[in-house]
Homo-oligomer: A and B are copies of this chain.
Amino acid sequence: MGNHPIGIFDSGVGGLTVVKQMFKKLPSEEIVYLGDTARVPYGTKSPETIKKYSVENADFLMKFKVKLIVVACNTASSTSLDALREEFNIPIVGVIKPGAEKAVQITRNNRVGIIGTYTTVKSKAYEKEIRHFSRDVEVVSKACPLFVPLVEEGWLKEEVTFDIVKKYLKPLRVKKIDTLILGCTHYPLLKPVISKVMGRHVKIVDSASSVADEVHNILMALGKLSEQKKPAHKFFATDAIEHFVRVGEKFLGTKINRAERADYV
């Protein structure tokens, strides 16, 4: 089963920042990626709806006999992991726990900030995970709903982007956090601006990178790491393939040669 693929799904293109880290840290693993672009965004939908969508997405990935599923969407991770683990008999990895764990490890003043969508922030999923690792860490969270459309518009270095980032992050600066979790897979593209606004002393935790480490640890423990030389990755989206490829390449940092329509939606 070692050479079976890893399934990854997200509400859209954002999860490709996770794929990018997987390519870097697990180059022998074959990836089947599914972006639910027909139903993006998840961040404003109810937990029940997101659970239903997550199970449907995982069902699609199971057809490829995936050995592990990464829920590369913070909103889905904060609402649907239990439902997925109940339904499917393979390891399900979310993006919340690895990011929370890393933040607890690296904070010095025990003040951690979290930014994400409304649903992610409201779910308090990061707080709960952080509490699990440490009771001493104070958590300050802030929903930044304009970040996703800014990234999708490709406005990564504009002055307005800087102003918006500054506006959203002000309460986190006031609280003097020293560690900031990017609780949305779109946000790594804004990392340079966020870093500039917060100052160099604030460490930025990019969940995508932590997730790849976690997947590596799990597959190693299960003896299921792949040994393929040239894995053939697959990309699917539930709608608007052309837009998915065009925007997705920015997230992935490399070309997407082919993407297909997943038509179960």
Q: Please report A residues at the B interface, Cβ cutoff 8 Å.
A: 37-40, 44-46, 49, 145-146, 148-150, 152-153, 155, 158-160, 163-164, 167, 239-240, 243
Contact = CB atoms under 8 A, between A and B. Distances in A.
A39 B155 CA distance: 25
What 9 pairs across the A-B complex have the smallest Cβ distances?
A149-B149, A160-B163, A46-B240, A49-B239, A160-B164, A46-B239, A146-B149, A45-B239, A145-B153
B160 A150 contact: no
Contacts of A240: 44-46, 49
A265 B164 CA distance: 34
Nearest to A164: B160
A240 B39 CA distance: 14
Contacts of A160: 160, 163-164, 167
Given A146-B153, A146-B155, 5 more contacts: A38-B45, A44-B240, A44-B243, A160-B164, A160-B167
